[in-house]
Structure 1
Amino acid sequence: MFKKRILGTLVVMTLLMLNLRVVAQNEGKLWEAWAQKEVTDLGDDHTGTTFSLSEDVRTPDGRASIRMTPSGKAEENKLAFPVTGADLAVWGDHAHLVLEVYLPSNIEQAPNTFFMGMGDVTGAWQWVDGGFGKPVGELNTGWNRIKFPITGPMKAISATGRYVIYMSFFYVDGQGAKKQLSQAFHIGNTYLIGESGASAGGGTEVDGFAAEVEALLKLDDEALLEAIARQTFDYFWEEANPTNGLIKDRSTPDSASSIAAVGFGLSAIPIAVDRGWITHQEGYDRVLLTLKTFENAVQGHEGFYFHFVDMKTGERVWDSEVSTIDTSLFIMGALTAGEYFKNTEVETLASALYERINWVDFAPDGTLVSMGWKPETGYLGSRWSHFDEGLLLYLLAMGSPTHPIPPEAWDQIERPVNVDGEYIFLPGETLFVYQYPLAWIDLRDREDRYANYFNNTQRACERNRQFAQRESDQVKTYQNGVWGISASDGPRGYKAYGATGPNSDGTAAPYASIACLPFTPEASLESIRGMLATYGPKVWAEYGFVSAFNAVVEWYSHEHIGIDQGDILLMIANYQDGFVWKLIAQNQYLQAGLKKAGFEEKRSDYAVTPAFLKEKLK
C-alpha cells in the first residue's frame, strides 16, 4: 500500500491550506433579515422542535444564540423562517448561505446532516428548491459553520412574494438511516458568500486559493501530487448526498447525479481510506449505503441505469438514456470497492449488481452492445463499434458470469491506426477515451493481437502534448508547458475537444494532462506546475483543478465535474503505487474478460502489434 506521506513539508502545506480554506470560507456578509429576527418568528414545521434565546452560549461575535431543542420524536428537526422577496433580494448576488451551529461537548448524538430549502407561500404553497449543506472543515463540538448552496430557483424570486426558509437538522448513521435527536444544540448568525467568495474582511475565496497555489508550488513532486489528490477526493465526499451516496455530476447546487461519477467515487473511497483521509468505517459505510441505493432505488433497465438521476430519489432526469458505458463505469467502481472491502456485504452486493446486468439483451445482433435504451423508443441505434472507452465495457460484458457476450465482439471493434502507424486512435483525438479503461485495468505488461494499450495511451498522451506545443506560439493557453485537450467544458459549453485543428479552440482540461501521469509523468508534472504558476486561482478552486479554461478568450470554469475528478484521482493513485490497478487485478470477472479478449504477456514495447500494423497498412 501507498506509504502515508504525512511528514515534513506535506504536513506544513496541508495545515496551511486547511487554514486558508477555513479563513476564506468562514467570513461573509451578515444576512440582515436573519440578524433582525425574533425567536417568535421561527416555526418548527410540525417536528416539535422548540426555540429559545440563550445568553449562556454566545455566537463567535458575542450575540445571544438560539437554542434548538428536539422533541425526540421526529427524524428531522426543522426550523421554518418566513421572509419576503425583499429580504431575499440580496441572495441573487451570492452563492452560499453559511449558518453557525454550536454542538455542546456533552452531546451524545449530534446532527451530522443539514438541509436548507425554500417554499413559496405567496399563494398556494409551492416548493422552490433546496440543497444539502456541508461543514466548513471538520464537524466538531463548539461552533461550526455549515455552508448551504443558494440555487438558481432560490435566487429567481419575486420582489413582492412571500417565502419560507426551511432548515433541517438530523443524524444519519452509517447505514443511511435517520436517528431521532433528543439533546439541544444552538444556532447563530448567517452569512452570505458571493460568487467570488467575497468576505466581510476584504479577502476572498480567490485570495485563499491564490495562497494555496503558492504553497503547492513550493512542494516537491511527490508531495504536490498527494496534495492534489487529497483535495480532488473531497469532491466525492462533499458533493454526495449523505443519505443515499449519490454523487453530483458537477459542483453546481442543482446538479443531478451522474452514475459514472458515482463509479469514480466508489473507486475513490478505498484510495481515501488507504491514504488516511477518512476512516475505514466511514469508507465502508458510504460504499455500502451507495450500493444499497443502486440495489433498491436507482432507476434503470435490465441491470443498467439511467445516465443521470435525481440526487434525492434516484429517478431518471433530463430525458436521459439508460447508458451502457456509464453503467460500466459505475460497476467498475463497485467492483473496485468490493475488492478493497473483501469478504463483506460490500463485495457481495457489488458482485450481485454486476451479475444482474443483461449484456446479451443490450447486444441485439449478438455481439456489439448498444449505447443505450430509452423507454420511449427502445434501444439506441448506435453501437460500441469503434475504438474508444467502450473497451472497458466489452471486458465487463465478456467477463460476466451471468449474461456474457461472445469473444467475437472484441474482434468486431474497428481500430483505425494513425497515418504514421504509431498507435490505434480516435480521429477526434479526445484524450479521455484512451485513459478511462486504463484508470482501472493494468495493461502495462499485456497485449492482445491488436495492441499494447498502455503504450497506445502513452502515444496518445505524447501526441496531445506535441499538438499543444506546436500551437503554443499562437495559442496562449498552451504556453509554459500546459497541455491537455479532451472532452470538457468550454467557452461555448461542453464539447468533445481533441488534439486536432478542427477540434480545438484553445481550451485545456486540467484532468487530461494530469491523468496521463502513468504514461508521461515528466510532461504531466510540467503541465501541472505550468497551470498553477501561470493561472493560479483561475484554475485552482475548492476541489482542486477546475474543469477547463481558455486563456485565449480569458474564460475560466468555476466548476468541477465528477468524472474529471475521478480521472485525476485514480490516475494519480496508479502513478504513485498502482493502487486501483492492483485491486482490479484481483477481480476474477475482469480477468476472465481479459482472457476472452486474448490478452497475453507483452512481447515488446510497441503500441500496435506488428501483425496488426501490417494488416492495416495493406
Structure 2
Amino acid sequence: MKYLLFIFFIFTSCGSSESSPSGGDSTTPEPQTPLTDEQLVDLVQKQTFKYFWDFAEPNSKLARERYHPDGIYPENDSNIVTTGGSGFGLMSIVAAVSRNYVSRTEAVARLNTIADFLENADRFHGAWPHWMDGNTGNVKPFGQKDNGGDLVETAFLCEGIICVREFFKNGSVEEQALAQKFDNLWKGVDWNWYRNEQNVLYWHWSPNYAWEMNFPLEGYNECLITYVLAASSPTHPITAAPYHQGWARNGAIVSSNTKYGIPLILKHNGAEEFGGPLFWAHYSYVGLDPTQLTDQYANYWDVNVNQTKINYQYCVENPGNFGGYGPNYWGLTASYSRNNDGSIGYDAHMPSNDKGVISPTAAISSIVYTPTESLAAMRNFYENNSGTMWGPAGFYDANSKHFGWTAKRYLAIDQGPMVVMLENYRTGLLWSLFMNAPEVRQGLLNLGFHSGKHGF
C-alpha cells in the first residue's frame, strides 16, 4: 500500500487563509461548563472543516496535502494539492453546507472553481495523479515512477464528486449546472483500462514508466472503494471478475484469525494479527455505508467495528507501556510520527507498528463504530490536552504523551475523515448521498453486495 510503503517525508507548509465564514479563529478553549457530547462533536467538526475552507490551496480551492501553521515550508510546498484528500474535502463542504457553516451560495462558487480546475488538470486515462500543482494543475510526482494516474486517490476523489452531484442535482438552475460538471468529471475515469488487460485493478500508470509501479489492488486494505466505483462506472465499468479474482484473491481474502476474542474476518495485508492502521476502516467508508453491507466474503460493519475494537483494546492493554495510553487516549493510524531523534516524520501506526504516537483522526473518525470510546477520547483530547493538541484546524495530526511531543501540523487525509465521519455519525448524510446514487447501487449489486439499510 502506498501509505505503508512510500510516505517517508518530513514536509512543512503553510499559506494564507481566507476570512472564515465559520466563526472566530481562537485555538485555545476558555474555561467553561463542560460541553455536552453534541456541542463537543459540533465544535470539533466545525473547527476541523476549516482545513478545507480557510486553509484550502488558494488557486484551485482543493485541499492542500498538508498545512503547517508555523509558516515554515519548502519551496512550492504549500501549493501541492492532494487528490484523495480533496475528495474528503468535497464531502466536508457538503457537510458544512448542511450545517450552515457556509452558505449554499458560497459553496457553489467554491465548488465551481474546483470543478473547473479538475477538468483542466492532468489526467491519465481519466485518472488524476496523487499530487497536483495547485497553480497549474500539472502532476507533481509522488515518486520517480509515480508521476501519472493514481486510481486509488482518484477513487477517494470520486467518492466526493458523487456526493456533491447528489447533493446539488435537484437544486437551483446554478446548482444543477454544478452537479452536471461533477457528473462529467466522474464519467471521465477509464477504470477498465487500469486492469492492464488482467482481472485485477492496478494502482498506478505512468506515461513514462507505464505499469512499472506494479501494485495490483488485492485486499484487504483501504482500497475497496476503487472496485466499487470501477463496477459502478456508467462509461468504463469493470465486470465482477477483477473484484473476485483480484481483490478477493479467489476467496483467500477471508480470515479465521481472532485477537482479544474478536474475529478479523478478512485478511489485513501485512497485519494479519491485529489488523491494519485505522484509516482502512475510514477511507473507503466515508461514502460507502458499511451498515448492513454484505457480500459473500464479509459483513462490512463487523469488519470495521472489529478492527476498531482490536485497535482500541490494544491501546488499553498497552503492551509497549507507553505513557497516557488507555480508554480515553487511543487510536493508531497513518499520520505524522516521531522519529527516534525527536524530529517529525511519517509512519503507518498500528498495533504491529506502535511508536507511542496517537493520531486523533483514528479514534474520532471511528465514532460511527465505537461512539462511546471515540467520544471519551475526543473529550480527553479537548478538555485535558487542548493546550498541546488543539489548533486552528482542529486537533493536530499526532501526539505522544509518552515523549511529550506533538506534530503541530495537519494532513488532508487525516482531517477529512473526521469531518465526514462526524457527519455520518450525526445524520448519515454522506452515506445516504453516496449509497443512493443510482450507478453506485447498481455497481454494488454487480459485485454481489447487498445493503439491508439502503434496500438493495
TM range (shorter): 0.7 to 0.9
Cα deviation, 1:272-320, whole Å, max 9, x if unaligned, reads 1110111111111111210111111x11201101111112111122454
Looking at structure 2, the residues matched to 497 and 473 of structure 1 have their Cα atoms a distance apart, in angstroms, of 13
**Alignment match, 2:348:** 496
- Which SS does the other structure have where 2:17 is aligned? strand
Looking at structure 2, the residues matched to 136 and 289 of structure 1 have their Cα atoms a distance apart, in angstroms, of 17
- Tell which deviates more after alignment, 552-561 or 243-252: 243-252
Looking at structure 2, the residues matched to 258 and 445 of structure 1 have their Cα atoms a distance apart, in angstroms, of 31
The AA in structure 1 aligned to 2:119 is E
Would you say 1:410 and 2:243 are equivalent positions?
A: yes
Tell me, yes or no, if the aligned pair for 1:423 and 1:460 is still in contact at 8 Å: no
Instruction: For residue 529 of structure 1, report the CA deviation from its aligned partner.
Output: 1.6
Tell me, yes or no, if the aligned pair for 2:88 and 2:157 is still in contact at 8 Å: yes
**Alignment match, 2:161:** 334
Tell me, yes or no, if the aligned pair for 1:233 and 1:543 is still in contact at 8 Å: yes
Tell me, yes or no, if the aligned pair for 1:268 and 1:566 is still in contact at 8 Å: yes
- Which SS does the other structure have where 1:385 is aligned? coil
Instruction: For residue 478 of structure 1, report the CA deviation from its aligned partner.
Output: 1.2
Would you say 1:307 and 2:125 are equivalent positions?
A: no
Tell me, yes or no, if the aligned pair for 1:480 and 1:530 is still in contact at 8 Å: no
**Alignment match, 1:442:** 289
- Which SS does the other structure have where 2:338 is aligned? coil
Instruction: For residue 375 of structure 1, report the CA deviation from its aligned partner.
Output: 2.5
| Change over 3 Å in CA distance of 1:458–1:319 after alignment to 2 | closer
Looking at structure 1, the residues matched to 389 and 417 of structure 2 have their Cα atoms a distance apart, in angstroms, of 17
**Alignment match, 2:74:** none
Looking at structure 2, the residues matched to 239 and 279 of structure 1 have their Cα atoms a distance apart, in angstroms, of 17
- Which SS does the other structure have where 2:205 is aligned? strand
Instruction: For residue 416 of structure 1, report the CA deviation from its aligned partner.
Output: 4.2
2:66 to 250, 260, 279: 250
Cα deviation, 1:541-592, whole Å, max 9, x if unaligned, reads 1111111112222220111111111110110000001010111122112111
The AA in structure 2 aligned to 1:447 is T
Matches within 5 A, 1:16-415: 133-135=16-18, 137=20, 209-212=27-30, 214-215=31-32, 218-252=34-68, 254-255=77-78, 256-296=80-120, 298-320=121-143, 321=146, 322-343=149-170, 344-379=176-211, 380-412=213-245, 413=247, 414=249, 415=253
**Alignment match, 1:419:** 257
Cα deviation, 1:383-434, whole Å, max 9, x if unaligned, reads 1012112110000001111111110122122424252244224143211112
- Which SS does the other structure have where 1:349 is aligned? helix
| Change over 3 Å in CA distance of 1:346–1:472 after alignment to 2 | farther
Report how many aligned residue pairs link the two structures.
405
**Alignment match, 2:375:** 525
Tell me, yes or no, if the aligned pair for 1:251 and 1:559 is still in contact at 8 Å: yes
Tell me, yes or no, if the aligned pair for 1:291 and 1:334 is still in contact at 8 Å: no
The AA in structure 2 aligned to 1:239 is F
Give the TM-score taking structure 1 as reference length: 0.62
| Change over 3 Å in CA distance of 1:556–1:271 after alignment to 2 | same
Instruction: For residue 211 of structure 1, report the CA deviation from its aligned partner.
Output: 2.9
- Which SS does the other structure have where 1:232 is aligned? helix
Instruction: For residue 381 of structure 1, report the CA deviation from its aligned partner.
Output: 0.8
**Alignment match, 2:412:** 562
| Change over 3 Å in CA distance of 1:472–1:534 after alignment to 2 | farther
| Change over 3 Å in CA distance of 1:335–1:601 after alignment to 2 | closer
| Change over 3 Å in CA distance of 1:318–1:366 after alignment to 2 | closer
| Change over 3 Å in CA distance of 1:284–1:465 after alignment to 2 | same
**Alignment match, 1:573:** 423
Looking at structure 1, the residues matched to 388 and 288 of structure 2 have their Cα atoms a distance apart, in angstroms, of 33
The AA in structure 2 aligned to 1:547 is D
| Change over 3 Å in CA distance of 1:425–1:210 after alignment to 2 | farther
Instruction: For residue 139 of structure 1, report the CA deviation from its aligned partner.
Output: 11
Matches within 5 A, 1:522-601: 522-601=372-451
Tell me, yes or no, if the aligned pair for 2:127 and 2:150 is still in contact at 8 Å: yes
Looking at structure 2, the residues matched to 395 and 139 of structure 1 have their Cα atoms a distance apart, in angstroms, of 34
Q: Which runs of at least 4 in structure 1 moved beyond 6 Å after TM superposition?
A: none
| Change over 3 Å in CA distance of 1:353–1:482 after alignment to 2 | same
Would you say 1:433 and 2:285 are equivalent positions?
A: no
Instruction: For residue 465 of structure 1, report the CA deviation from its aligned partner.
Output: 0.3
**Alignment match, 1:101:** none
The AA in structure 2 aligned to 1:315 is N
| Change over 3 Å in CA distance of 1:287–1:422 after alignment to 2 | same
Cα deviation, 1:463-483, whole Å, max 9, x if unaligned, reads 000000010781114135211
- Which SS does the other structure have where 2:310 is aligned? helix
Looking at structure 2, the residues matched to 136 and 348 of structure 1 have their Cα atoms a distance apart, in angstroms, of 29
Query: Higher strand proportion, which one?
Result: 1
Looking at structure 2, the residues matched to 541 and 219 of structure 1 have their Cα atoms a distance apart, in angstroms, of 18
Instruction: For residue 137 of structure 1, report the CA deviation from its aligned partner.
Output: 4.8
Q: CA RMSD in A?
A: 2.4
Q: Flag the structure with larger Rg.
A: 1
- Which SS does the other structure have where 1:378 is aligned? coil
The AA in structure 2 aligned to 1:391 is L
| Change over 3 Å in CA distance of 1:257–1:601 after alignment to 2 | closer
Cα deviation, 1:449-508, whole Å, max 9, x if unaligned, reads 1111112100011000000001078111413521110111101211111122xx111111
Looking at structure 2, the residues matched to 553 and 240 of structure 1 have their Cα atoms a distance apart, in angstroms, of 31
Q: Which runs of 5+ in 1 are unaligned?
A: 1-94, 96-129, 146-204, 604-618
Cα deviation, 1:94-121, whole Å, max 9, x if unaligned, reads x9xxxxxxxxxxxxxxxxxxxxxxxxxx
| Change over 3 Å in CA distance of 1:395–1:568 after alignment to 2 | same
Give the TM-score taking structure 2 as reference length: 0.84
- Tell which deviates more after alignment, 337-346 or 236-245: 236-245
Instruction: For residue 352 of structure 1, report the CA deviation from its aligned partner.
Output: 1.3
**Alignment match, 2:359:** 509
Percent identity over paired residues: 26
Looking at structure 2, the residues matched to 591 and 446 of structure 1 have their Cα atoms a distance apart, in angstroms, of 12
Instruction: For residue 536 of structure 1, report the CA deviation from its aligned partner.
Output: 2.1
| Change over 3 Å in CA distance of 1:542–1:315 after alignment to 2 | same
Tell me, yes or no, if the aligned pair for 1:446 and 1:600 is still in contact at 8 Å: yes
